[in-house]
Structure 1
């Protein structure tokens, strides 16, 4: 069972009517970029908990940030969205997960493919020096339904200016001029994504990290397998590392 500590809300930032970032102050032990913890609230005498990835890059600070979407019939996200500065949230003390940079072999290119709020772990990695030591170029792809769902643009643009990062926004329900329209799966199948970035990805030069809904992860993995890439395992390193986001 998780050991719970109290986290104090220090900031809530709304990106649109459904997406928001929640910042908590809590004395957590060290964790790695890409890991997650659990947040919980006691509702009607019952503790409701859900897993959320850290958006912030790990540091000595006690501030921890999470990207959330309010689910209409959800048990936890609506109450979390109604919190005010100074209120308390239960936080699992120990972080979890192996969706971290030390689990990925070094390569020339690292492709970070995400949908929705699953961009969170990748945002955490952007500030990790290991990312820029292991890979010559990083391509961050964020698949969303509408342009208003493209969060943390200031952070991403700033990182593109200071590091070898290429950002590819991909919007499925609207036309976009600076990015790609459609879905990640179709952009991979048609090789539109590779052409857009100007990189001929191969098993010899590329690593892929996939984070999103289970169907996206499953379909994208199969597409990459069909292109000759292999799953990354500790016993047998490959090219594809995945995290299903619920």
Structure 2
């Protein structure tokens, strides 16, 4: 089922990367879930999934997207202006959510978010709720991009550091240029080298860690394997573990 949403704000982070705030009557959702946006093209509906950046309590929906020149939908989204309409799925979906990870003695003390590019969106949604801060002693976001201009929501993330100074650690990875305070390693290599653990001040462990990974499929695959090598296990409903993943395209 589709509903009509209206763009109420847009943010252009760079020439390709942008956010849209949309006014639409979406059914209640869980932080970390995604919606679909769509348009009718040549008589057929073209739909794509976009994770919600906003927490459930927000007035407006918000998505972070990047224009893909050969894409069927993203150039349309890139062209949207305030006041334009866009079709939105009536309900959100997805299992990259905190209530899918263990909440008993298997939970552990530390929550790691590993994200590349626009996949930081669902983690921002989660961190703008109370749940991660109430459940975990430490929350670490590792946010990887190629260039500094790709760092969306940086001020919002810094404000979370100010709000939760003893709980939250933000680690930025910028791989194609130098940025003060950021590492230059790709996320999987920073796992192997121990760089992430050193910067976070905590270790990846099967006893204490929950790790949620979202982004580039190669990053997801490699990071997951290196965490397996450290003794962590994939989190499944039938067999709770430590690693929850979502490929972002």
TM-score category by the smaller chain? over 0.9
8 Å CA contact 1:107–1:136 kept in 2: the answer is no
Partner in structure 2 of residue 13 of structure 1? 11
Q: How does 1:81-120 map to 2 (within 5 A)?
A: 81-105=78-102, 106-120=107-121
The question of whether the paired residues in 2 share the 8 Å contact of 1:173 and 1:182 is answered with: no
Q: CA deviation at 1:176?
A: 2.5
The answer for the alignment partner of 1:143 in structure 2 is: 144
Q: Is the 8 A contact 2:204 2:230 kept in 1?
A: no
Who is 2:135 aligned against?
134
Which residue is equivalent to 2:193?
A: 190
| TM-score (norm: length of structure 1) | 0.96
SS at match of 1:107: coil
Query: Which residue is 1:243 aligned to?
Result: 246
Q: How many residues align?
A: 243
Q: Secondary structure at the match of 2:137?
A: strand
Instruction: State the TM-score, normalized to the length of structure 2.
Output: 0.95
Task: Give the drift of 1:165.
Answer: 1.1
Contact 2:27 2:90 in 1 (8 A): yes
The corresponding residue for 2:160 is 159
Deviation, 1:179, is 1.9
CA positional deviation for 1:25: 0.3
**Partners of 2:133 and 2:200 in 1: CA distance:** 18
CA distance in 2, matches of 1:228, 1:109: 16
Tell me whether 37-46 or 161-170 shows the greater mean CA deviation. Answer: 37-46
Q: Which residue pairs with 1:52 in the alignment?
A: 50
* Cα deviation 1:20-78 (Å, max 9, x = unaligned): 001100011100000001000122332211000000011162x1000000001111001
What displacement does 1:154 show? 1.4
Q: Where does structure 2 lack aligned partners over 5 or more consecutive residues?
A: none
The residue aligned with 1:173 is 176
Distance apart, 1:107 and its partner CA: 2.2
Question: Paired residue for 1:210?
Answer: 213
In the alignment, what sits opposite 2:230? 227
CA distance in 2, matches of 1:151, 1:114: 12
Contact persistence 1:109–1:135 (CA under 8 A): yes
Task: Tell me, in whole angstroms, the C-alpha distance in 1 between the residues paired with 2:89 and 2:180.
Answer: 42
